[in-house]
Structures are given as structure tokens and as C-alpha cells.
Amino acid sequence: MWAETFEHIRVSLADRIVTITIARPHVHNALHPAACKEIGAALDRFENLAEAAVAIITGEGDNAFSAGFDLHWANEHPDIFKDPQAGSEIVRRGTIGKPIIAAVNGLALGLGFELALACDLIVAAPHAKFGLPEPRVGLAAMGGGVVRLTQQIGLKRALGIILTGKMVSADAGFHAGFVNEVAAEPLPACARRWALEIAECSPLSLLASKEMAYRCTELAELQTALDPHSYPSVLRLLGSEDVHEGRRAFLERRKPRWQGR
């Protein structure tokens, strides 16, 4: 049960899965600082909630995950253009420990695409489209999109999307490598399937695995990147009760009872 309510998003908790839904369909779920702050608050609580293992972020309706930053709002608040990190409540969370899935149900443009790229996995409806159209309106994708897209699919492919501002399909995103699955079933069911599989794993193992996956690119020497002692969460995992519980459960042919410690 998730007791807290918000104005611009809806949040629910069931089966250890937190679902965050951007609820601004009148503007194609476009984001402004208040909505970004609410998403940030929900993610902070998710990170610290013992009964939550994985989160899904999606948009209300079938048309848009998020069409990006709300330019109508920005036109009424022009000082926002002086702050290149207006969406930082979302994209600054590059080190969040628990897994997050973006369930992209339509347009994911600009800051909306950046939000999806900041998640660990992206599953998309067949009609979903992605893009960073900021250069077409005199801006640049400063919320992490340029950096993350380049890291995730390589320089030339990323620049083909970044420099043209064009939209790409879900299938193209899958073949480029930033979409994990184009849903052949209803999108919520697809995202839930991924989330349930993740939720079966040891929380400390997920934390350690994510840290290694993201931090290895920051370590200059291969030998340092390969050394488990380079990752604090790996050491925490190896010293935990869960590492023994997983082995015992396997040998006893039962489901493990993770304690997260």
C-alpha cells in the first residue's frame, strides 16, 4: 500500500513492484519542475522502502510516455531556461540501487526520452516513438540524454538521432540497443513480467550487479574493473546472510527467503 498522494503522478505498490504513472495526459504527460519533483520524491521513497524491489515508470493513456519538457509551462516561466538541470530530480539518479523499468506507452521525446534512458530497462509498445528534438526548438538535451544515449548505443548511432532531432520507432530502438523488448502483449503485462522476474532475485545481488555494470566504465584500468574489491556493494553482498540463503535454497530446492542483509 502506498499512502502518499501526488498531484502530477500516481503511485502504487503491489507484489513488491512500485508503479509510477505520469498523470498529465492533457499535455501528453509533458514534465515541468513540479512533476519532476514528485517523481524524485517517489523514487526516493522507493529506494528506501524495504518491501519494494523494483519500479516501473510509465505514462497515463496510450499516446505518450512523456512528450518532454512542458514548453507551454516554460513559455510562462522563461527563467527556467537559465537552469540546464530543470529535470535533475529525475536524471540525477544515476546511482539509484534498485532496478527501474521504463514502460514506454507512446511518445518519449526530449526529457521524456531522457527519463526512459535513465531507467535500467526499457520495454516499449509497438507504436512507441523516441527522440531528442531539442535542436529543432533551439535547445539541447541537457538532462542526460546525449550522454546516456551515446553510452548505450555508441557515438555514430547516437549522433544520428541527436543531430537530426528525428523520432525513431520502438523496433529501431530495439535494434539500436536502447530498448530491451517491444511488447507483443499488452505493455503493462510485459513490464510486470520483467519486474516479477527481477523481484525474485536477491536485493543485494541486484545492487551489486548494477554497481558493477555502471561503474566498470568509470574505472580506467581493466584489472581494477575486474576486481570485486572495487565495488562496495559486492563486498556487502559477500558478507551478507543472503549469500548463504541463496545457496541453501538452491540445494534444498525451494525459493529463497531474501533478507536484504
Q: Is the pLDDT of residue 254 over 70?
A: yes
Domain count, the chain: 2
- Average pLDDT of the chain to the nearest whole number: 88
Catalytic residue among 38, 60, 114, 211: 114
Q: Which tens digits make up the pLDDT trace of 3-23? A: 678 999 999 999 999 999 999
Regarding whether 166 and 127 lie in a shared domain, the answer is yes
| Residue that terminates a domain, selected from 174, 199, 224 | 199
Three-state SS across the chain? CCCCCCCCEEEEEECCEEEEEECCHHHCCCECHHHHHHHHHHHHHHHHCCCCCEEEEEECCCCEEECCECHHHHHHCHHHHHCCCCCHHHHCCCCCCCCEEEEECCEEECHHHHHHHHCCEEEECCCCEEECCHHHHCCCCCCCHHHHHHHHHCHHHHHHHHCCCCCEEHHHHHHHCCCCEECCCCHHHHHHHHHHHHHCCCHHHHHHHHHHHHHHHHCCCHHHHHCHHHCHHHHHHHCCCHHHHHHHHHHCCCCCCCCCC
Specify the range with the lowest mean pLDDT, choosing from 33-42, 173-182, 239-248.
Answer: 239-248
Q: How does residue 168 score in pLDDT terms, banded at 50, 70 and 90?
A: very high
Among residues 60, 89, 134, 211, the one annotated as catalytic is: 134
Please report which confidence band the pLDDT of residue 228 belongs to, taking 50, 70 and 90 as the band edges: low
114 is catalytic: yes
Whether pTM > 0.85 for this model: the answer is: yes
Instruction: Please determine, for residue 121, whether its predicted confidence score (pLDDT) is greater than 70.
Output: yes
* Domain identity same for 144 and 232: no
| In the predicted structure, residue 64 carries a pLDDT above the cut 80 | yes
The per-residue pLDDT for 19 is 97
Q: Quick check: 89 pLDDT over 70?
A: no
- Identify whether 32 is part of a domain: yes
Same domain, 190 and 208: no
